[in-house]
A and B are shown apart, each in its own frame.
Chain A
Amino acid sequence: MSDELRGEGAGGRREALTAGGLSIVVSVAALTYLVPRGIGPIGSDPTILAMIGSFGLGAFGILLVVSGLRMPAAEPATRVHGGSRLRATGLMVICLVYAFALDWVGFMTASYVALAVLMLLLRVRSILALLLVPAGVLLGIYVGIELALGARLPEGSIEWPFPWQGGSGSLNG
């Protein structure tokens, strides 16, 4: 059985405290937003479920913190490799940058770069693969989405002269 599947007592103290603490923070933030906006009689109040959810989140968060404090302080030895953590963090950063860059770079260019960088991050070292795999994947997506389904992929302001924009030169939006 992996660490993740063990019971709470198997060294999940830090997990429980973090999860409980974060739940309380989210609950307080939601209630701070909701309480001034709660209107109307019960039954037509649009915030009733959100209020129940927020209170529940806070209450269960407190219970989890309490149960975490009762757990033994010893933590199980971590088996996660430092390089893997760095790679996972890099992956998240690349995904975030990619999501925000799509607006102005455009789907094709941003995806090509993101795919190549992600492959590099996951230790693909073949130049040929770094060039050809993104090209093949994006060709497949272009054929599937634009040609077969007739949907438009997001265009960016730097992509307009390229053929996948149909020569329209139109900008995003």
Chain B
Amino acid sequence: MVELLLDAAGLALTFQNLLGVLFGLLLGAALGAIPGLNGTMAIALIVPLTYFWDPLFSIALLMGCWKGSIYGGSITAILLNAPGTPEAAATAIDGFPMQRQGQGRRALHMALFASVIGALVSDILLLGASAPISRLALKFGPAELAMLILFSLVLVAGTGSESHLKGLISTMLGVLIAVVGLDPMTAQRRLTFDILELDSGFDLLAMLIGLLVLSEIINQVWTGEARDDVATGAEAVSARGDGSRLSLRDIRGSIGVIFRSSMIGAFCGALPGVGAITAAFMGYDHARMSAKDARRFGKGDIRGVAAPEAANNAVCGSALIPLVTLGIPGSLSVAVIMGAFMVHGVAPGPMLMVEQRDLVYALFLLLIASDLLLPVVALPLIAAGQYLVTIPKRYLFPVIVIFCATGAYSAQQSLFDVKVMVAFAILGFVMKRLSLSPAALLIAFILAPMAETYLRQALRISRGEFSIFVGSPIAAGFAIATVLLFVWSYLRSRRGTDGRALDP
């Protein structure tokens, strides 16, 4: 293990890769700080640019961008009560009251400290847990994997939609879109409607950019959010101006909450479909409920900043556990990261830990490096925060539209992909208006080809007998879990008590 880590360190910790992490952190934190933009959108916009770069450098940059965006969201949550990302919504509950009391800098520094600790806990867990889970996953055959993916599809059907039924519709739509193109086994055309460009299916990046970025812009213009500028100026009290400091006493008083919230976040991250928003609120609730003087929460308690920040940052590392061990993205952000892996020829799944172990461990080390480098980027950004967040959306949105088109075109240098991007933007917008879930569609789009391969392999092995899917204890276990989850979700949705997280 030590030898493996040393080899991975040699591969990962180069000046170029660390620069990539730093650049990613800076970009992610800056974009994450702007309300309306989030880490997933930032990654989707950057992926096409990394097409020509070294895989490790590119993935390091994108991971840095993701981590940076989660922290960046807290800057505006604290300074303006406008969370830059949904993950930072819980941070605003106590962060903004602290800012109004002239304690903004103290809150921002605590958010940074908690973010670093949360991310480190999660990354160390990832480092330790990935290899054993991968070894277990290698024992799975096609039937077990097909049932595991089916279970994941039902689980993630709840991602981004308040109704499980609507989530399932979005998932099925994702499955249908994924099969468009030539069948890899028989080369038969499927749902191409005689459009030649569709023979190779829809390009993932064009689809990502359209569904996540452009559709969100259209939606914000529709709801009128683009009419107002982000900050009014009066609210944007300078964090530089206040004399508050994070003290050792603050850290001592919050360290227990930070570690416990980090564990909550790491647990949430490892579960498909749960996500950083749920983790942040669970972390906050835990801090509030475990406090002796809970009345201060909501009025500017520093633990109310530390807990959600530790929890939402702890999601990043552990969210990669199902990805690198099973090839299953548990959330939209991880699905986009998976897309980036695939663009660079890295196929996540159990074999990744066997075939490209050095690369995986190098990536883990770069994740830890990104945690340690976060303060380098964040401290200057805290000072610049109040200026950054005042970029008006009437300038920002048109520029992003052009970046979307450039990104969609650059990946394959195909103008057809720009049309695909616009079509998916309109689809994503319509889905949002109907409370359907673009996130569930996207995850299903990524999982469906794997599901199809395993489904057909299993059916060929069993000569068409569907009993193979309940033939082994693991497959039967997943089948029962899928049915139970389906029934539970449906009943919960019918009762109208569905409080599922909206993963960005």
Where the two chains meet, the residues of A that have a C-beta atom closer than 8 Å to any C-beta of B are 4-9, 12, 15, 18-20, 22-23, 26, 30, 33-34, 37, 39-44, 46-50, 52-54, 56-57, 60-61, 63-64, 67, 80-81, 84-85, 87-88, 91-92, 95-96, 98-100, 102-103, 107, 111, 114-115, 118-119, 122-124, 129, 133, 137-138, 141, 144-145, 149-154
Please, which residues of chain A bring their CB within 8 A of the CB of B462? 43
Let me know if A115 and B52 touch, CB within 8 A: no
Contact in complex: A49, B415 (CB < 8 Å): no
Provide 6 A-B residue pairs closer than 8 Å at the C-beta atoms, listed in order of the A residue: A6-B162, A43-B456, A53-B175, A57-B169, A119-B394, A151-B413
Q: Are B460 and A30 in contact (CB under 8 A)?
A: no
Assuming the A-B contacts A111-B402, A118-B401, A133-B399, are A92 and B426 also in contact, with contact meaning beta carbons closer than 8 angstroms in the complex? yes
Proximity bits, B394-420, A CB within 8 Å = 1, else 0: 110111011101100110010100110
In the assembled complex, the Cα of A40 lies from the Cα of B186 at a distance in Å of 10
B255 within 8 A of A: no
Q: Count contacts on B: residues with CB < 8 A to the other chain.
A: 74
CB contacts (< 8 Å) of A114 on chain B: these are: 398, 401-402
Question: What is the chain A residue whose CB lies nearest that of B436?
Answer: A19
Known: A49-B175, A61-B169, A137-B402. A122 touches B221 (CB 8 A): yes
> Which residues of B lie under 8 Å from residue A49 when comparing CB positions?
175, 178-179, 448, 451-452, 455
Q: From DSSP, what is the main secondary structure of chain B's interface residues?
A: helix
Q: A53-B179, A91-B217 are in contact. Are A46 and B185 (CB under 8 A)?
A: yes
Q: How far is the CB of B55 from chain A (nearest CB, A)?
A: 16
Known: A7-B498, A46-B190, A95-B214. A41 touches B173 (CB 8 A): no
Q: Given contacts A50-B190, A149-B52, are A9 and B222 in contact (CB under 8 A)?
A: no
Residues of B within 8 Å of A33, CB to CB, are: 191, 193
Q: Taking the nearest CB of chain B, how far is it from the CB of A64, in angstroms?
A: 5
A122 and B176: CB pair below 8 A?
Answer: no
With known contacts A12-B435, A61-B169, A43–B405 Cβ distance under 8 A: no
Known: A124-B395, A151-B52. A47 touches B409 (CB 8 A): no
Residue B132 lies at the interface, judged by CB distance under 8 Å to chain A: no
Give the docked Cα–Cα distance between A173 and B61 (Å): 33
The 3 closest A-B pairs by CB, nearest first: A46-B183, A43-B459, A118-B398
CB distance from A52 to the nearest CB of B (A): 7
- Give the residues from 414 to 436 in chain B that come closer than 8 angstroms, CB to CB, to chain A: 415, 418-419, 421-422, 425-426, 429, 432-436
Do B415 and A41 touch across chains, with their CB atoms under 8 A apart?
A: no
The listed residue (A4, A41, A42, A98) touching B405 by CB distance below 8 A is A98
CB distance from B414 to the nearest CB of A (A): 9
A-contacting residues, B114-172, CB 8 Å: 162-163, 165-166, 168-169, 172
- Which single residue of chain B is at the shortest CB-CB distance from A144? B49
**Quick check: A88 and B222 within 8 Å, CB to CB?**
yes
Contact A42 B395 (CB under 8 A): no
C-alpha spacing A18/B434, complex, angstroms: 8
In the complex the two chains form, what is the Cα distance from A44 to B463 in whole Å?
10
Q: A98's closest neighbor in chain B, by CB?
A: B405
C-alpha spacing A48/B7, complex, angstroms: 45
- With beta carbons under 8 angstroms apart, the residue of B163, B193, B410, B413 that contacts A8 is B163
- Closest chain B CB from A150 CB (angstroms): 8
Q: A42-B464, A84-B223 are in contact. Are A64 and B166 (CB under 8 A)?
A: yes
Would A23 and B435 count as touching, CB distance under 8 A? no
- Residues of B within 8 Å of A88, CB to CB, are 218-219, 221-222, 429
B227 is an interface residue with CB less than 8 A from chain A: yes
**When the two chains form their complex, are residues A122 and B429 in contact, meaning their CB atoms are under 8 A apart?**
no
Extra pairs beyond A81-B224, A84-B223, A133-B399 (17, CB < 8 Å): A12-B435, A42-B459, A46-B186, A49-B175, A49-B452, A64-B166, A80-B222, A84-B227, A99-B419, A102-B418, A107-B406, A111-B406, A114-B398, A123-B394, A145-B406, A149-B49, A150-B52
